[in-house]
Amino acid sequence: MKFINKIDPEIATLIELEEKRQKETLMMIPSENIASYAVEEAMGSILGNKYGEGYPQRRYYQGNQLIDQLETLVIERAKKLFKVEAVNVQPLSGSPANFAVYTALLNPGNTIMGLSLSSGGHLTHGAPFTASSKYFHSVQYNTDKNGWIDYDELLALAKKSKPKIIIASTTAYARILDWKKFSEIAEEVSAFLMTDISHLAGLIAAGVYPSPAPYAHIITTTTHKTLRGPRGAMIMTTQKGLNKDPDLVKKINKAIIPGIQGGPHFNNIAGIGIALKEASTSNFKRYAAQILKNAQIIASELIKYDFNLITGGTDSHLILIDLRNKCLLGNTAAEGLEVAGIIINRNGIPYDPNPPFYPSGIRIGTPGVTSRGMKKKEMKIIVKLINQTINALIETKIKLKINSEKDKIIRQEIIRKTSSLKQINQTVKQLCRKFPLVKQY
């Protein structure tokens, strides 16, 4: 930071404080992770200076010989790791990657079908108020009351609405997605099957979660979640995709540029390449297996403390908790846990009686704490601390005779009067000190 410190102390201070925050708290938002120093270095490199609209050997600007080598290398690494036929590494993030696929394959008004936000889907999978539902006709499928995807209902809905793309993907669904069933349903209605594996990419790369590559036509992913790379995204085309449409790669590439993007961010593309190299090591495989083990320990410990988990457990890196039996809003829980030093997010649960801004659940994930080297013993301690925090918040809420937690001032009052949060935070800090934020792998 020597240059930022000299040139811009204000920004330097904010970065330093954010680093301190990350060091002293438990990163348990399932979509967050800690990229390596090597990835960070690539992101901060001179590669960001270069413009290169187009693709290797077909650029609109000069001076791209080395950039061509770089992009080709990253593409080849991604093809090998995910066992796919073609990869576009230029999407700036997950949302443009998904939108590019829609614009590549559809005309405005054509139908897409994705999992609803309230069932654990993503905004870009056709949620109301998003471009994916404004420019395309969006039909949404749901989970059943217990939070499991109901494939029979999905088939019936697909037959009725005849989508051109079925999106198999989640952001708050803890169970294994049955890629084969999704592909059978897509085939039945002649739809493209697009799987967005943003949350799962690292687990799939390591072979600890099933790969959709044999079943999907197109796979999109961000690169900064379980894959532990820089912010960015990829669009992959499978052999199955090429069999369905031999022009698929051409269409996707055109949809990215000139379709919706300009110059690629080569610093991030280099970071993606490094993350892909890291993800193909045995160290990373052990890391990914530990993410799952840690999530399962958290799930079973939470159940012991009478927490209701959606679907009763997890097969992945995340756990979705229904807090209704605890009579605490997701907001109060998440904000209270933040004061305790445990960073999670509030989340809707299937058929949530509350609106998305005041949901009944919270979502917890293990990629970040696993990157710090934490294992079974630490997971048990963390769940104990989560339970203590939630119980203390409930106790204060009862003492203060509070019925509704929708007002932020009321939530702050609950948190302020829950004195044990400070003590819990000290324990969290001690734990964090034992597992420093080391980013070398």
Residues annotated in the binding site for (6S)-5,6,7,8-tetrahydrofolate, as ranges? 117, 121-123
Binding-site ranges for ligand DSN (CB under 6 A): 31, 94, 122, 171
Q: Which position among 225, 228, 326, 346 bears the catalytic label?
A: 225
Alpha-carbon distance of 183 to 225, in angstroms, equals 25
Residue 197 or 298 with smaller CB distance to ligand DSN: 197
Q: How far is the CB of 171 from ligand DSN (least distance, A)?
A: 4
The 8-class DSSP code of residue 102 comes to H
Q: How far is the CB of 122 from ligand DSN (least distance, A)?
A: 6
Residue 54 or 96 with smaller CB distance to ligand DSN: 96
Residue 121 or 271 with smaller CB distance to ligand DSN: 121
Alpha-carbon distance of 9 to 5, in angstroms, equals 5
8 Å CB contact between 234 and 78:
yes
Q: How far is the CB of 93 from ligand DSN (least distance, A)?
A: 8
Q: CB 14: neighbour CB atoms within 10 A?
A: 12
The 8-class DSSP code of residue 352 comes to -
135 a catalytic residue? no
Residue 94 or 163 with smaller CB distance to ligand DSN: 94
Nearest to 394 by CA among 343, 307, 326, 304: 326
Q: Which position among 143, 170, 222, 389 bears the catalytic label?
A: 222
222 a catalytic residue? yes
Q: CB 20: neighbour CB atoms within 10 A?
A: 11
Q: CB 13: neighbour CB atoms within 10 A?
A: 12
> 40 in helix, strand or coil?
helix
| Binding-site residue ranges | 117, 121-123
8 Å CB contact between 78 and 88:
no
Q: Is 437 exposed, middle or buried (0-12, 13-18, 19+ CB in 10 A)?
A: middle
The 8-class DSSP code of residue 373 comes to T
Q: Which position among 71, 102, 196, 215 bears the catalytic label?
A: 196
Q: How far is the CB of 170 from ligand DSN (least distance, A)?
A: 9
Q: Which position among 40, 53, 150, 395 bears the catalytic label?
A: 53
Q: Tokens 């799952």 identify what position?
A: 292
Q: Which position among 51, 305, 351, 358 bears the catalytic label?
A: 51
51 a catalytic residue? yes
Per the document, the length of the chain is 441
8 Å CB contact between 91 and 256:
yes
Alpha-carbon distance of 154 to 170, in angstroms, equals 15
All residues at 6 or more sequence positions from 440 whose CB lies less than 8 Å from its CB, including other chains: 36, 37, 38
Q: How far is the CB of 364 from ligand DSN (least distance, A)?
A: 12
Cβ-closest position to ligand DSN: 31
Residue 120 or 241 with smaller CB distance to ligand DSN: 120
Residue 171 or 389 with smaller CB distance to ligand DSN: 171
**What is the distance of C-alpha 21 from the center of its chain?**
21
Q: How far is the CB of 241 from ligand DSN (least distance, A)?
A: 23
Query: Which residues are annotated as catalytic?
Result: 51, 53, 196, 222, 225, 231
